[in-house]
Chains A and B, each alone.
Chain A
C-alpha cells in the first residue's frame, strides 16, 4: 500500500461494557398499564380448578355451620382445604429471601466494583498519561503497523485487564472516532494530531478477580461519564452509547 504522508497518529480504544444483570424498574405509566392488563385478563377469564375447589369448600363450610347436624364429619377428618394450601404456599414464599437489587457497592458508591448499578451498562475507564497530562480515558494504545484496528483495541483491553479477559467484540468496524490536534508546541510536519478509533465489546466473564489491573480504573454508567471525561471526548463517546 502506498505509504502516503500520514500526519495522524492512530490509536485503537476499547469501550468494554458490562451488560445489566437485572431488569430496570418500570416507569409509572408502565406499572399502571400492567395493572390494567392484569385486571382485564382476570375479568375475561373463567374459574380455574383451584378456585372451583375453593368455592365448593366454602359452600360446604357454610352449610355445615347452618345445618345443625354435621353430615360430613362422619367420613374423613383430615381433609386439606384449598385455603390451607394457599396459606402454606404463602409461608414458603415468605421464607425465601432473594438477593437484593441494590447491592453494598451501590450504597457505598464504590466505583471500582462491578457489582454496582446492576440494572444499567457499566464501562471501563482507565487513567492514562497523554503528553504530560494524566487523563481518564477509555483504554487505548497506539496502532502498530501490521495489525488491524480491532486487534489494537483488543490489545488495549489486554494491556489493562490481563490476557484472560473474555469479551465479545461487536464486529470489525469502529463505532466512533475522536480526532484531535496536538498543541502547537509539539506539532511537527508529519505529526499533526491523533485519531482515536473506538470499538465496543461486551464483557462475558463475570468476575475479574484474576485480572491484574495495572492502572487506576473505574466502572461507570453513561450518566457518570461526564464526571471524568473531557467535553469534546465525551461528546464523541456519547454518540455510540445506547442508554
Chain B
C-alpha cells in the first residue's frame, strides 16, 4: 500500500534535476557565446600622471638657422642611405652572378656533382649568431650579482 508513493517521488525528483541541469547548461552556453573581454595592451595606455602640465619641457624655440641646418642634414642623409643601399644591391648581385657562373662550370664538369651542389642544406637554418658589440669581451670579468623579479601583469580571458 505504501509502495507507490516513494516511487513517484523518485521519478519527479529525477525529472526536476534533469530540467535544472538543462537550464544551467543553457545559461552556460549563453555566457560562452558573448564575446570575450579584450586584454588591454599596457604599452598603448599612457598613465595619467605623465600628462600633467608640469611635465612639459621648457626649451628655447628653434632658430631659423638651426631648422635650416636640420633640413639640409636630413637631405644629405637621404642621399647617403641611397648610395649605401645601391652598393649593397650591387654586392649581392655580384655574389649571385659569381655563384651562377660556378654552378654553370660545375654542370659542364659532372652532372652528379652539380645535383649534389644544388641540394638544399638542411643544417643551415635556423642560423644563430651572437651579434657584434661595441667592445670585445673582457677576459676575467666578474659581472655584479643581482636578482631580476618579473612584475609583468598576466591577463586571462
Please list the 10 inter-chain residue pairs (A to B) with the smallest Cβ-Cβ separation, ordered nearest first: A177-B102, A239-B98, A46-B55, A98-B135, A148-B116, A174-B102, A99-B138, A176-B98, A240-B98, A29-B80
Selecting from B8-16, B107-115, B147-155, the interface stretch reads B107-115
Q: Tell me which residues across on chain B come within 8 A of A173, comparing CB atoms.
A: 99, 102-103, 117-118
CA distance A83 to B80 in the complex (A): 41
Q: Check A99–B135 contact: CB distance below 8 A.
A: yes
Q: Check B109–A36 contact: CB distance below 8 A.
A: no
Contact residues of B between 50 and 99, Cβ < 8 Å to A: 50, 54-57, 59, 70, 73-74, 76-77, 80, 91, 94-95, 97-99
Q: Check B77–A29 contact: CB distance below 8 A.
A: yes
Q: Which B residues lie at the A interface, using CB under 8 A? A: 50, 54-57, 59, 70, 73-74, 76-77, 80, 91, 94-95, 97-99, 101-103, 105-106, 109-113, 116-121, 124, 127, 129, 132-139
**Beta-carbon nearest neighbor of A55 in chain B:** B54
Could you list 14 examples of A-B contacts with CB < 8 Å? A1-B111, A10-B109, A27-B80, A36-B73, A43-B59, A47-B55, A101-B134, A148-B113, A172-B120, A173-B102, A177-B105, A195-B109, A239-B94, A240-B95
Q: Tell me which residues across on chain B come within 8 A of A30, comparing CB atoms.
A: 80
Selecting from A14-22, A70-78, A129-137, the interface stretch reads A14-22
